[in-house]
Amino acid sequence: MTSNSLIYIDGKLVDREHARISVFDHGLLYGDGVFEGIRAYGGRVFRLDEHLRRLYHSARAITLFIPITMDEMRRAVLRTLRHNKLTDAYIRLIVTRGIGDLGLDPRKCPKPCVIIIAGRITLYPPALYAKGMDLVTVPTKRNIPEALNPCIKSLNYLNNIMAKIEATRADAPEAIMLNKDGYVAECTGDNIFIASNGKLVTPPCWAGALNGITRAAVIELARKKLGVQTVEDLFTPYNVYTADEVFLTGTAAEVIPVTRVDDRVIGAGKPGPLTRKLIGEFRALTKREGVKI
């Protein structure tokens, strides 16, 4: 992101240096709000409508009223990209509860705040896509769905950040988070897939996984394009260690192979054939699908 980039805040585009929100905004004070991370490729915003639907569903789940319609939000995203002259970008779309007092009561926040940031992101170095990445399983457990449903993409990411800190201390770029029952839920910022005996498995959302947009695209590609049986099911770290292939998916990460977990070599110790095919299919999908900027 350049120093002269423009940030959308409540209908206005302002210079990055002048982009401000109140210290009394409950998004800052309590993580009370929702967000989306979205990608644009070659002048098209990938699965914009799916991201917007998830944003509005997350907001509805926490009784947060978004003050503009979905169509208006779509136009605001495209307007922000055009004014920043971006055709390949990472877009962060944020809706906070808005300004309130120092108490928790959301009724004291009469006007939600809408923020759109458009820039660029490189989550992992290119070498990891060629050779695969290392993961560790961390002690921090995924929030239980009964406390905070994983389908809500909220601003309160402290659970994930605690796990990320543990991964960083272990010198690993990502970490596997287990749910309270010891099953694999997701990683700190990505969904996880394992491939065994020609079958692809990813944790179900009710077990603690975010219903990822890239995750859904990969499931669709595996089933319809490659004819691979793909299911949502529970599995443990043992199933990860003994898998033929492991990979992660996410808006920023796209599809990235995993070749070592907790010092166990996965499969042949290099990105497997199914992972490589899905990387290629996903990249091709992003080039032909999306809302034109």
- Ordered by start, the domain boundaries in the chain are 6-119, 126-288
The pLDDT, as a whole number, for residue 1 is 61
C-beta atoms surrounding 36 within 10 Å: 24
Banded pLDDT at 2 (limits 50, 70, 90):
low
Q: What is the pLDDT of residues 20-75, one digit of tens each?
A: 999 999 999 999 999 999 999 999 999 999 999 999 999 999 999 999 999 999 99
The pLDDT, as a whole number, for residue 3 is 60
Integer Cα distance of 77 and 291 in angstroms: 11
Q: Above 90 in pLDDT, residue 292?
A: yes
Q: What mean pLDDT comes out for the span 218-238? A: 98
Catalytic residue set = 153
Q: Which CATH architecture has domain 126-288?
A: Alpha-Beta Barrel (3.20)
- Would you tell me the crossing angle of helices 70-83 and 48-61 to the nearest 10 degrees? 130
- Domain 6-119 identical in fold to domain 126-288: no
Strand, coil or helix: what is 112? coil
Q: Which of 11, 7, 18 is nearest to 83 (CA)?
A: 7
For domain 6-119, give its CATH number from 3.30.470.10, 3.10.105.10, 3.40.50.300, 3.30.300.170.
3.30.470.10
Q: What is the pLDDT of residues 257-290, one digit of tens each?
A: 999 999 999 999 999 999 999 999 999 999 999 9
Banded pLDDT at 123 (limits 50, 70, 90):
confident
Q: Which of 58, 61, 82 is nearest to 6 (CA)?
A: 82
Q: What mean pLDDT comes out for the span 80-91? A: 97
% of the chain at pLDDT higher than 70: 99
pTM attached to this predicted model:
0.95
Q: What mean pLDDT comes out for the span 123-130? A: 92
Banded pLDDT at 146 (limits 50, 70, 90):
very high
